[in-house]
Structure 1
Amino acid sequence: MASYRFQLFLNISFFLILAIGQSSIAAANDDRKASVVFAYIVYMGSAPEGEYLATSRQRTMLQKVIRGSSVEESMIRSYRRSLNGFAAKLTEEEVEELANMKGVVSIIPNRIYHPRTTRSWDFMGFSNTVRRNPTVESNVIIGVIDSGIWPELPSFSDKGFGPPPKKWKGVCRGGKNFTCNNKVIGARFYKSVPSGDESARDNSGHGTHTASTAAGNVVKDVSFFGLAQGTARGGVPSARIAAYKVCHKKGCESVDILAAFDDAIADGVDILSVSLGSAESTEFFDDVIAIGSFHAMEKGILTLNSAGNNGVAGPLGVESVAPWMVAVAASTTDRRLSTKVVLGNGKTLNGFSVNPDTFNGKKLPLLYGREVSSICSEDDARLCSESCVDSKLVKGKIVLCDNSGSDSVVYSAGAAGSIVLDDLPVSFITPLPSPGLNARDYDLLLSYKNSTKNPVAEILRSESIKESYSPVVAQFSSLGPNFIAPDILKPDITAPGAEILAAYSPISSPSGSPVDKRRVKYSILSGTSMSCPHVAGIAAYVKTFHPDWSPSAIKSALMTTAWAMDRTKNPDGEISYGSGHVNPVRAIVPGLVYETSKEDYIKLMCSLGYTQDNIKQISGEISACPVKSKNVPARDMNYPSLAASVPTVKSFTVSFRRTVKNVGLPNSIYRVQISPNPKLKVEVVPKVLTFKALKETKTFTVTVSGGGLSAKSMESTTLVWSDGTHIVRSPIVVHTYPSIKSS
């Protein structure tokens, strides 16, 4: 049985498993009654000139296949502003008939995507007094595709804001009792199946948290019941927010996500923050986030996407793999919440949890899960599984559980607290005091209990402690490499994503447990959902200084100026953190940038073996692969990082061709440096790049040789171009991980 704390991590730290989001719906008319219909996206490519004509044609196409049934009953929504297509409830026969119609690019089954759920900005050296241009910043619009927003919170007050930028073409369709303002300038909600949740208001807290992290106002003296007290603010406090609610209690449907992209692009957002994903990487043409973000890229909009919470031990790998998006991993800051457990013998154990409560110096009796159940097997009882905790035995006591998700069960039974086995060193909010201990300390706790006649313990209130070895990639953050395109390194970058304090929905339980009746306006969450909006805010910050930069130029600036991560503290290396830890202050002055165009991405897909139809499923247009493009390695795409999949054990020589544009000083000379790795030989030609003007480009080639790599292993080094003022750093990674196709 799945444990509650694990479910809490899924819902609040935001790693959830992809499910096909199709509950069968009985057909409503006589012709279709005997069939079962499901939701599908009928994708027809880029938006045509007229919205009305697009809708009219879509309805005509649908009417032809449903034959006399109601179009209104079948059609879920129309995509007509930035994309062309529609979502509808269809039988298998109707899907087959539509697929053969002229103009239909692809038909995609509806899927359920899920969210991947203060001090962080100062930790990055990005203080509130950093150089800014508030007037320019107020013209930047960040679109947040998530679970909605709570606009009345101080983080979203429009005090001091003027009217929305003239470029804004969106609306405020937030539903009943929802009002936008000059800070939250737009809101829309999407729900494929009508329900009582017809509003852009955030019922879960996730969207409010991510929006305030990206662009929330400066709000002083906030905390979670006194914990993590400080000033909450977003990366660009003067920027505007447009909220697109696609997530509800059961998840986020792909038909709605694509609709949000369709609207956001046409509304005029500058940056898109999308802290959602499936459970594993999928082909670009099967992923609505990849499709939507490709269309956003065409319109000059950069999409930031959470890398996923599959964890260091997860077999599925990083989920966000499309090269036109920024895939953001999660890492720690120098502040960590610790919850101590004081045993009756005076020994103190350090646990992980967000616990604002105190026992006031009182030690309470300890009971093991298997001692508090008479109806369950010993294994289930030790886990404190549902219905296995006898409320008569645990009231006022502390229960020890081998399951790190039993908090809600124990709380409902009336226990005063629980102590759980949990090797994930991240603090989560639980409905009752419930620190997690690693295996070593948990064994010490059990040993004390089993050797003591009347074992007791006290759970202390959590305290903030200084973490000297941060940043470290969080254990829940998904690892690369990129299983779809192994020669493109993913994730791209890492940012703070552990124990982040930000705004929250005041009607949602902070622990995610239905039995938790507490309500707050600011809460502490963890996940790549939290790291993604950090980088979205920084991307918007870069755009305020360089409004004419392309999405790939902004992405390059973020990646090449990132802090180098300490490999000794991050043993998985670049496949866990990409180019490094985002550095906001340096990102606005990168010196050189690697730019990629739509044509470059199409050439990449050709080199991956994508057919013309596959590419059309993404771009919406017929794009012929250039002659011999399939023979051009994917690693030659002009990406800011350099990666190559090489043979196991055998010797190898791989080359990379790159072009950089000068955005630093008009007259500058950059010299190359390679960090030493005895297992790799690296040659760069030329070794010096001389620029005489801004926007001038130079091309160079990197050749890497080595051998003897075992299966599923990697080696890396670093390429640096420097003119003495700017440091342009790119990781070089060779690995033996296979692609999905080859495995």
Structure 2
Amino acid sequence: MTTFLFLIVFSCLALSFQSYGDERKVHIVYMGGRSKGVSSSSLSSIHHSMLNKVLSSGVSSSESIVYSYGRSFNGFAARLTDEEVEKLSEMDGVVSVLPNTKFQPHTTRSWDFMGLTRNLSLRYPNQGNVIVGVLDTGIWPESESFSGDGLGSLPSKFKGTCQTGGTNFTCNNKLIGARYYNADNFFDPREFKSPRDAIGHGTHTSSTAAGRAVGGASYFGLAEGEARGAVPEARIAMYKVCWLGYGCSGADILKAFDDAIADGVDIISVSLGSGFPFEYYEDPIAIGSFHAMKNGILTSNSAGNAGPFPISVANYAPWSLTVAASSIDRKFVSNVVLGNGNTYIGIAINSFNLGNSVSPLIYGGDAVNVSTGSSELISSYCFDGYMNSQKVKGNLVLCNGLFGEEGIPNADGLGVILSSDNYKDVAFNFRLPATVLSSQDVQEVLAYIRSSSNPIATIKMSDEWNDTLAPTVVSFSSRGPNPITPDILKPDLTAPGVDIIAAWSLAASPTFNPEDQRITKFNIISGTSMSCPHATGAAAYVKSAHPSWSPAAIKSALMTTATPMDSRKNEDAEFAYGAGHINPVKAVDPGLIFDASEQDYITFLCKQGYNTSTLQRLTGDNCTCNGIAPGKAWNLNYPSFSLSVPDNGYALGSFYRTVTNVGFPNSTYYATVFAPENLKISVEPASLSFTQVGEKKSFVVKVDGGKLFQQPIMSACITWFDGVHSVRTPVVVFTTVLPLPFNVDQGADLRSIGKANFPRLNGNLMGN
């Protein structure tokens, strides 16, 4: 099924990177950093002037231009032909002209699971001054998760606005800002021309990161309890860049970054990603997050839902935080009980209660719709339109595969038993009684149907089981290594992203299916889209404790205090979970941090082959690459170590790092190395002594793994310990592999990927 999923998504996600002929399509004209002292109105005039020089006769710049980026960096988006794109690309000051690529969106037990209890979440009084900016599908402002009751006045630093779109959308002291963007002017009839959320995804991610505490939250009675974010009193600013039936455009994303930076947010959360690896200068999320970093703002990104394929990780720029998805200690189980008394354990979020009643049970392969050209094989997968409704009506149906459940309610079936061996670690929700069994169990159920004259069964409402193996990285979470810079380990860490309950839009289907007319205030979904706001919330929590810390400092604190993961449960090791599982409570007191400035990232880019001219246009200052030759990224002050080696090459590397003391004024840290026998790692010096907070010390890590052949990954770690603080950094050594020729969608809900892309299923890439 995984191979099938991979192929169908590739066939439907091939992006159009160029316009053809005289057809006008939106492009991003990126011009680098904004020069100091130049107003946004002056830049807008420059943009219009540039357009007037290249546009065809009879077309004005006001007709062509979509956005003028000038609040935080320089550039614009405009509708252009191929010829106009070429002319603009050759103009002085233009860094690049990018196609308007589509991106896709990639809980409340989870915070307690990480040790961030409600009392601890309110520990730092500065929390109300922290602003979380979210780029997503919009927000449902009336949700209790976004209540402004009891919160103080707005932070004076916030310069944003609340765009109502002429509707009844309103902001308050919690939801302090909301904007929406639509470069291509595409509106599904079910959408709102405002920041209001028609999909549910943005409401879910926002409340996960910074939602108020809401008691009695549940999904139709399941997972009942208190729903809250990591920083319940922090403020939220929503930037709606994703639309029902359309996706998320690069032009809109870049404009949202431009506004969010200028508005004064502290952390930016982006649960979106591309299906293809881009160079940093071609990726709107990498570009936007670079300028956020320049302005002291950390961007938290989802790693993508393309796992378990290698080199599938999205959002891999070193200046942002890349988050994988892992399980929590709650599992939803929906069992099947047959007429012969046998019980089979299924995985599903099944909120339908059939009680003790039993119903007739049939096999999908026995309900062939001959009039549509179906066959026993096709109908065994229960594909919509290929089922015989006379045989399905009123029955429970056993199906092969995971994505054919829509054929059952549309043929008047009562419920469905599905099959999957690939997704045993994540539960899906459905619009009818349903559960998912292993293929072996499905064969036993089929044998019962074949041997019984009157097969009957029932599907039990979900129970919540304690998952003692948690946390483990979920199968769908995208894996490293980094497709652009293998010597920067990605993902950075992992956070809860499986079966997460959070606020939901009342206009959205809980199952991403327009035929599902149910309404719920809270929903349970899975994806790295759900793990990203957990890291966002944790970053905001650290920011509330340390308002002056840089983005790199916050990121370092989260990575070096992460809980180590068991590689026996995750064979991809650090390529699955990075530094480990996020621990917000420990992150506020990391002891040492690996800080990095804009100049450090500039040096990194020079090492990646950028030239001085490109850098100056990118940063807006007089930085150069003089004296910096292209080479390895080993000396970027990163809280992890990655050594990629050509196949049959020698694993030899030397890494220079500097740490800053944020722990005890007088302290000495000692380095301990954990490594396999065939990997030699030395740390020089092996101890670091500090006499004051803020003091910096440097060290060198030397790695010798000998000659390597077909080595997927060797894992090690270095831990600095002062008797109280453990500062842990992972070390990975591996032979370089070529990236896959394509990647799969960073979808909001894993199940929606298959639904959206299989013929005759009326979905789209957003899972609707």
Matching residue of 1:730: 729
Report the counterpart of residue 463 of structure 2 in structure 1. 463
Corresponding residue number in structure 1 for 2:76: 86
Partner of 1:30 in structure 2? none
Which residue pairs with 1:43 in the alignment?
30
User: Which letter maps to 2:349?
Assistant: V
Query: Secondary structure at the residue paired with 1:523?
Result: strand
Question: Does residue 415 of structure 2 align to residue 397 of structure 1?
Answer: no
Q: CA deviation at 1:378?
A: 3.3
Give the match's secondary structure for 1:354.
Answer: coil
Q: How far off is 1:70 after superposition? A: 2.9
Question: Is the Cα–Cα contact under 8 Å of residues 105 and 620 in structure 1 kept in the other structure?
Answer: no
- SS in structure 2 at match of 1:94: helix
Kindly report which structure 2 residues correspond to 1:263-662, keeping only aligned pairs within 5 A, or say none.
Answer: 263-312=259-308, 314-373=309-368, 374=370, 375-423=373-421, 424-425=423-424, 426-612=426-612, 615=615, 618-619=618-619, 623-631=623-631, 633-662=632-661
Matched residue SS, 2:401: coil
SS of equivalent to 2:549:
coil
Task: Output one character per residue of 1:137-166: Cα deviation in whole Å (capped at 9) or x when no partner.
Answer: 000000000000011110000000122100
Q: 1:569 to 1:405 in 2, by over 3 A?
A: same
Amino acid at match of 1:327: T
Q: Is the 8 A contact 2:311 2:482 kept in 1?
A: no
Shift of 1:134: 5.3
The answer for the alignment partner of 1:190 in structure 2 is 181
Change (3 A) 1:93 1:620: farther
Could you say if the C-alpha distance between residues 377 and 557 of structure 1 is closer, same or farther in structure 2, counting changes exceeding 3 Å? same
Aligned residues: 727
Instruction: Identify the range of structure 1 (457-466 vs 392-401) with the bigger mean alpha-carbon deviation.
Output: 392-401
Cα distance between partner residues in 2 of 1:193 and 1:651: 50
Q: Which residue of 1 aligns with 2:162?
A: 172
Q: Does the C-alpha gap of structure 1 residues 687 and 315 become closer, same or farther in structure 2, counting only changes over 3 Å? A: closer
Q: How far 1:497 moved relative to its partner?
A: 0.3
- In the TM superposition, residue 21 of structure 1 has moved relative to its aligned partner by 6.4
Contact 1:655 1:704 in 2 (8 A): yes
Instruction: Assess if the C-alpha contact under 8 Å between 1:117 and 1:527 holds in 2.
Output: no
Asked if residue 54 in structure 1 is aligned to residue 43 in structure 2, the reply is: yes
User: How far apart are 1:382 and its partner, in Å?
Assistant: 1.9
TM-score under structure 2 length normalisation: 0.91
Deviation at 1:440, TM superposition (A): 2.3
Q: Take 2:316 and 2:286, find their aligned partners in 1: how far apart are those partners?
A: 8
2: distance between equivalents of 1:398 and 1:562? 45
Distance 2:121 2:133 in 1: 23
SS for the counterpart of 1:138 is helix
- Native 8 Å contact 1:418 1:435 kept in 2: yes
Show the counterpart of 2:118.
128
Query: Where does residue 677 of structure 2 map in the other structure?
Result: 678
1:9-61 C-alpha deviation (Å, 9 max, x unpaired) = 99xxxx99755368979xxxxxxxx8211110011112242111111111111
The answer to whether the 8 Å contact 1:141/1:241 transfers is yes
Q: Following the alignment from structure 1 to structure 2, what is the Cα–Cα distance between the partners of residues 117 and 17?
A: 30
SS at match of 2:659: strand
Higher deviation after alignment, 297-306 or 688-697? 688-697
TM-score (norm 1): 0.94
Query: Where does residue 260 of structure 1 map in the other structure?
Result: 256
1:28 paired residue number: none
- 1:222 maps to 217
Separation (CA, whole Å) in 2 of partners of 1:263 and 1:93: 30
Residues 437-446 or 73-82, more deviating:
437-446
For residue 623 of structure 1, report the CA deviation from its aligned partner: 4.2
Instruction: Name stretches of at least 5 consecutive residues in structure 2 with no aligned partner.
Output: 743-768
CA distance in 2, matches of 1:439, 1:698: 56
CA distance in structure 2 between the aligned counterparts of 1:618 and 1:394, rounded to whole angstroms:
61
**1: CA distance between counterparts of 2:391 and 2:561?**
57
Structure 1 contact 305–532 (Cα < 8 Å) conserved: yes
Residue 208 of structure 2 corresponds to 213
- Farther-moved stretch of structure 1 (224-233 vs 396-405): 396-405
- Could you tell me whether the CA contact under 8 Å between 1:603 and 1:629 is conserved in 2? no
Provide Cα deviations, 1:445-498, integer angstroms capped at 9, x if missing partner.
223223333222210000100011110001110010101100100000000000
Once the two structures are superposed, residues 557-592 of structure 1 have per-residue CA deviations (whole angstroms, 9 ceiling, x without a partner) of 000000001111112111100000000110000000
Q: Is the 8 A contact 1:367 1:400 kept in 2?
A: yes
Q: Secondary structure at the match of 1:586?
A: helix
**Could you tell me which amino acid in structure 2 is paired with residue 280 of structure 1?**
F
Q: Distance in 2 between matches of 1:214 and 1:253?
A: 23
Q: What do the CA deviations read for 1:585-620 (whole angstroms, capped 9, x no partner)? A: 100000000011111112112222234455467545
- 2-structure distance, mates of 1:422, 1:355: 16
CA distance 1:21–1:180, change in 2 (3 Å) = farther
Q: Is the 8 A contact 2:716 2:730 kept in 1?
A: yes
Whether the 8 Å CA contact 2:34–2:72 is kept in 1: the answer is yes
- Please identify, of 369-378 and 122-131, the stretch whose mean Cα deviation from structure 2 is larger: 369-378
Question: By how many angstroms is 1:366 displaced?
Answer: 2.0
Q: Partner of 2:765 in structure 1?
A: none
Change (3 A) 1:656 1:315: closer
Contact conserved, 1:309 with 1:528, CA < 8 A, in 2? yes
Q: Is residue 153 of structure 1 aligned with residue 143 of structure 2?
A: yes
Q: Which amino acid aligns with 1:263?
A: D
The letter for the 2-side match of 1:719 is: I
Residues in 2 aligned to 1:407 and 1:237: alpha-carbon distance in whole angstroms? 38
Contact 2:31–2:618 at 8 Å: present in 1 too? no
Q: Which moved more, 1:611-620 or 1:100-109?
A: 611-620
Q: Deviation of residue 193 (structure 1)?
A: 2.6
The DSSP-based 3-state class of the residue aligned with 1:36 is coil
The DSSP-based 3-state class of the residue aligned with 1:630 is: coil
In the alignment, the residues of structure 2 paired with residue 120 and residue 344 of structure 1 have an alpha-carbon distance, to the nearest angstrom, of 37
Structure 1 distance, partners of 2:611, 2:207, is 41
Q: CA deviation at 1:677?
A: 1.4
Residues 419-441 of structure 1, C-alpha deviations (whole Å, 9 max, x = no match): 11122021111111221112222
Unaligned 5+ segments in structure 1 are: 26-33
Secondary structure (helix, strand or coil) at the match of 2:349 reads coil
Partners of 1:6 and 1:439 in 2: CA distance: 17
Q: Partner of 2:717 in structure 1?
A: 718
Separation in 2, partners of 1:105, 1:649 = 38
Structure 1 residue 651: Cα displacement: 4.0
Q: Distance in 2 between matches of 1:729 and 1:355?
A: 40
Deviates more, 1:669-678 or 1:636-645: 669-678
Deviations 1:269-320 (A, max 9, x none): 00000000011332111110000000000000000000000011x2551011
Given the superposition, is the C-alpha separation of residues 117 and 727 from structure 1 closer, same or farther in structure 2, using an over 3 Å criterion? closer
Query: What per-residue deviation string (whole Å, max 9, x for no partner) do you get for residues 95-152 of structure 1?
Result: 1111122222210001110101900000001100116445410000000000000111
SS at match of 1:707: strand
The corresponding residue for 1:29 is none
CA distance in 1, matches of 2:107, 2:78: 30
Once the two structures are TM-superposed, the CA of residue 386 in structure 1 deviates from its matched residue by 2.7
Preserved contact between residue 18 and residue 112 of structure 1 (Cα < 8 Å): no
CA contact (8 A) 1:18 1:114 kept: no
Name the CA distance, whole Å, in 2 between partners of 1:578 and 1:617: 32
Question: SS of the residue aligned with 1:150?
Answer: coil
| Deviates further, 273-282 or 601-610 | 601-610
CA 1:299–1:386: 2 relative to 1, 3 Å = same
Partner of 2:692: 693
